[in-house]
Amino acid sequence: MRVGMYYNNRDVRVEEMPKPKIGPGEFLLKVRASGICGSDVMEWYRIKKAPLVLGHEATGEIAEVGEGVKNYKIGDRVFVAHHIPCNTCRYCLSGEHTACETLQSTNYYPGGFAEYIRVPALNVLRGALLLPPEVSFEEGTFIEPLACVLRGQRMARLKAKQSVLILGSGISGLLHLLLARTSGAQRIIMTDINKYRLKVASELGADSVINANEDVIALFRKNNEGRLADLVVVCSSATPAFQQALELVERAGTILCFAPTLPGVKLEVPVADFWRNNIKIIHSYGSSPEDAGAALELLRAKRITVTGLITHRLKLSQIGEGFRIMLEGKDSIKVIIEPNS
């Protein structure tokens, strides 16, 4: 079968490897769509394991079913989560599923940028979701990123009538916008340095958009009745975004670090001010199976629509081009690879 083999951000090759063989409790998925995630182009994070096949937002049809699989059959349309918690460790039992060692070590093989993937028994048991007729394969690729956004906003305890500032208007920032709107946020303002992404954010319902190179504090206050943000969501790995977040959060507000910084970056936090003003800084990584189920229901019910976020649909033979588009970040939002088209 063909796969997209990642060597570095500018070297992703179409190569041949054997089609995976499945065992008891497993199934083989014929991949129909797999989105390129922003984390796929975090080269500092990926390069240490290269060469490898990336892709963790995969949907497709079940091509083979292993012995003992009862709830799925050949031909079923499914989404499969790549990281699965054990549900029995101290982290899972306290609701912190993404800190689970099992979650951080599980995956399907070889990756979503392949014609077929082997789905291990644990992922079949806890990570496979049947796609209802209302959800297409390409819409299903949003289940994983939307689930991560759901977890992040739950951790941040976003409430109705709050003001939200989203730093970064890429795919994760836009999903935060759509979810915050369904959650009743009173005012949502977004920043970016990319004019195209700011245009999309405005079209999707942002109350205001700000170029991140301008005086964000003054412009935000102007558009938020003089106040700072109840919730600041950092969806950019750029250090200035994290520094801005420290200055843009309202008293009793929360900073949600949804993106990581580059390795080794340190921030000077005004601890005394944050202590006095009851300001919280939290992080959110990944999602749980419950979040994935909730994300699927939002998509099925059309409470969140995502097809307009897809700017590129590419064949597996074009995967190198897909990574180039992601890196340049010009007139693009979501790039989807269709390995079997």
User: In CATH, what number is assigned to the domain containing residue 199?
Assistant: 3.40.50.720
Tokens of 108: 């399907």
* 289, part of any domain: no
| Helix axes of 143-156 and 171-182: crossing angle, nearest 10 degrees | 60
Structural domain span for residue 235: 147-283
pLDDT digits 0-9 by tens, 251-281? 999 999 999 998 999 999 999 999 999 999 9
Partners of residue 163 on adjacent β-strands: 187
Quick one: 138 and 6 in the same domain? Answer: yes
Are 12 and 134 found together in one domain? yes
- What pLDDT does residue 192 have? 97
The CA distances from residue 319 to 55, 144, 167, 292, in Å, are 11, 20, 28, 26
Q: Are residues 252 and 131 in the same domain?
A: no
Q: What is the pLDDT of residues 167-197, one digit of tens each?
A: 999 999 999 999 999 999 999 999 999 999 9
77: helix, coil or strand? strand
> What's the pLDDT score for residue 278?
97
Q: Is the per-residue pLDDT at 241 higher than 90? A: yes
pLDDT recorded at residue 329? 85
How many distinct structural domains can be found in the chain?
Answer: 2
Residues 161, 39 share a domain: no
| pLDDT-derived band at 233, boundaries 50, 70, 90 | very high
Average pLDDT of span 1-14 = 98
Q: Within this chain, do residues 133 and 228 fall inside the same structural domain, yes or no? A: no
Tokens of 58: 């995969």
Same domain, 114 and 220: no
Give residues with Cβ within 8 angstroms of 133, minimum separation 6: none
Q: Does residue 247 lie in a domain region?
A: yes
pLDDT digits (tens, 9 = 90+) for 90-123: 999 999 999 999 999 999 999 999 999 999 999 9
Residue 118 in domain: yes
Question: What is the percent of the chain with per-residue pLDDT over 90, rounded to a whole number?
Answer: 99
Token pair of 79 as six digits: 């989404």
pLDDT one-digit tens code per residue, 55-89: 999 999 999 999 999 999 999 999 999 999 999 99
Q: Which residues contact 14 (CB under 8 A, 6 or more apart)?
A: 2, 3, 4, 5, 316, 317, 319, 320
DSSP 20: P
Query: Quick one: which H or E segment has residue 239?
Result: helix 239-248
What value, to the nearest 5°, has the Cα angle with vertex 232 and ends 257 and 42? 35
pLDDT digit string, tens, across residues 274-319: 999 999 999 999 999 999 999 999 999 999 999 999 999 999 999 9
Q: How confident is the model at residue 216 (pLDDT cuts 50, 70, 90)?
A: very high
CATH code of residue 66:
3.90.180.10
